[in-house]
Structure 1
């Protein structure tokens, strides 16, 4: 499987129009894909953004011609009924055949609790995700679908705008259970950088292979995507300083668990030290160092690397990374 290099459009910090222009620039700069998060609320109240993903993806498709694009990740289980996602991504698949990916996950309290009265435990969220993916595929495959699940049901439902070229579903996961599910039922797997090598080699990738084997597949049958956090600038001080705006990413799952208010999350992140904020990023002004450190993920077997950059000047990042780092990665 050919390796692809993508751009993570950070909806948390940019409005929809600016984000579209960055997606267009990513294609012009040589990136192979653009992925966007799906938030109801931004991670910070002051200066944050949370553009609606579904219309944004259609606008990006119209402004580009080559790139693969999709969600990393969308939660099809609370704010959305799975049938609505089946219809929306079926329509996108018809408009842009072969270019659309539905990346899904089990959700975060910040996005879902404001529209709900409670937040279920991880086991229920996992089960809801599995059921949602099953229903979406049934709606894409047939007419008059009667589905009687634990959480979702349809009665003779038909999604008329079904994709002629199947839209792949990739599952985002950070633990073994959801990773096994990705291996068993998904077309691809999404995770993030910055973990220990053992977490990938001893936990996630074995779980993914185990799940794939249950469906008589192997890892070579799946797209293995990883979001890689990189801060690159010829000025090393600027590369380091840019990571401060993403201090939220340095918080542990325990620190973020159950936080439903952007003001509270902003307050918690403000206490993160600059050193801790930078710890999850590859920070360097040397393109060869970026290639060397990114090579770790290629060596682990990831086939789709999507780069997320901090800092306000994303256009500068796209042009610099597209001209100085991507050619070196492809040569490697």
Structure 2
């Protein structure tokens, strides 16, 4: 079965408080978006004007205010702040309350979200092993009746998740490197990555790694949802479209520039030094709807069927209205005729 084209809305938890963010999610459903994905940060990228509402209770609240739209995390880390058993229980509960509408997106994590709590921050190989083990434990808890587990990182004794959805909660793996992407191809229901990087990363590294994992598991692209967060700034005023990207300047920092930073104040200081031209490079910045759609189609044609749009502006209601009017119909015509 081919995964249909889906056009989603990224709820920017780093930029807005929980009530305002929930209003935007409701607006997105009303405007015809197919999904809403939210980050799960303990701390935001920016100290001044930043926010960091907890994703799990937020998803529960938004589920109660909506009826159709898919709701997911992009991404939550089930290996440090959360015990995998807590994640298993929480998302089983969400799956019971909103059957067929909840997605658990997971990743290996960031120091920004863990180090502040005094959690030791290991090197990438250990973070990857933790993620693999957490997913194994999640599956056991969601499918077993009485689970005892002894792993490298977690131990569970006589555990049962009593309230489980009839429709299993899909698990998507977020990845920016080949190892986690191969893992997504082998075991996950979906693969999550972000836009705005060198096109070769997607065409020569990530998607080939995804295919390797799928082939190893005897699966094809039709068996997995390929999701990319597409960073966009669309406004009839080109200067405004460019300037709106400023709040998200930390995204333009290189991995070497932000590795190990756990303090939003320091992240904000480094990001403030960047010129606006470098800040905007992660975004599709445009004032012409046809040109904007052409650039998004280029992203989709690399192999993505689920596009989740992240706008950096502070007036999200205006973005949702403008995008649903000018962009979504054009995209549906081009991508899913």
CA contact (8 A) 2:233 2:244 kept: yes
265, 268, 276: which one aligns with 2:267: 265
TM-score, normalised relative to structure 1: 0.99
Q: Which residue of 2 aligns with 1:219?
A: 221
Superposed, 1:151-300 pairs within 5 Å as: 151-300=153-302
* Count of paired positions: 332
Q: Deviation digits for residues 230-252 of structure 1, max 9, x if unmatched?
A: 00111111111101111011011
CA contact (8 A) 2:80 2:119 kept: no
Q: Which residue of 1 aligns with 2:19?
A: 17
Give 1:144 deviation, angstroms.
1.0
Q: Which residue of 2 aligns with 1:82?
A: 84
Q: State how far apart, in whole Å, the 2-side matches of 1:329 and 1:277 are.
A: 26
CA contact (8 A) 2:43 2:52 kept: yes
Give 1:14 deviation, angstroms.
0.4
Q: State how far apart, in whole Å, the 1-side matches of 2:201 and 2:242 are.
A: 26
Give 1:116 deviation, angstroms.
2.6
Q: State how far apart, in whole Å, the 2-side matches of 1:164 and 1:211 are.
A: 27
CA contact (8 A) 2:72 2:104 kept: yes
Q: Which residue of 1 aligns with 2:142?
A: 140
Structure 1 unmatched ranges of 5 or more: none
Q: State how far apart, in whole Å, the 2-side matches of 1:118 and 1:129 are.
A: 15
Q: Which residue of 2 aligns with 1:118?
A: 120
TM-score, normalised relative to structure 2: 0.97
CA contact (8 A) 2:187 2:217 kept: yes
Please provide the CA RMSD for this pair: 0.8
Question: Secondary structure at the residue paired with 1:120?
Answer: coil
Question: Secondary structure at the residue paired with 1:189?
Answer: strand
Q: Does 161-170 or 15-24 show the bigger shift? A: 161-170
CA contact (8 A) 1:14 1:49 kept: yes
301, 319, 322: which one aligns with 1:320: 322
CA contact (8 A) 2:230 2:310 kept: yes
Q: State how far apart, in whole Å, the 2-side matches of 1:146 and 1:47 are.
A: 44
CA contact (8 A) 2:207 2:303 kept: no
CA contact (8 A) 2:232 2:284 kept: yes
Q: State how far apart, in whole Å, the 2-side matches of 1:235 and 1:101 are.
A: 36
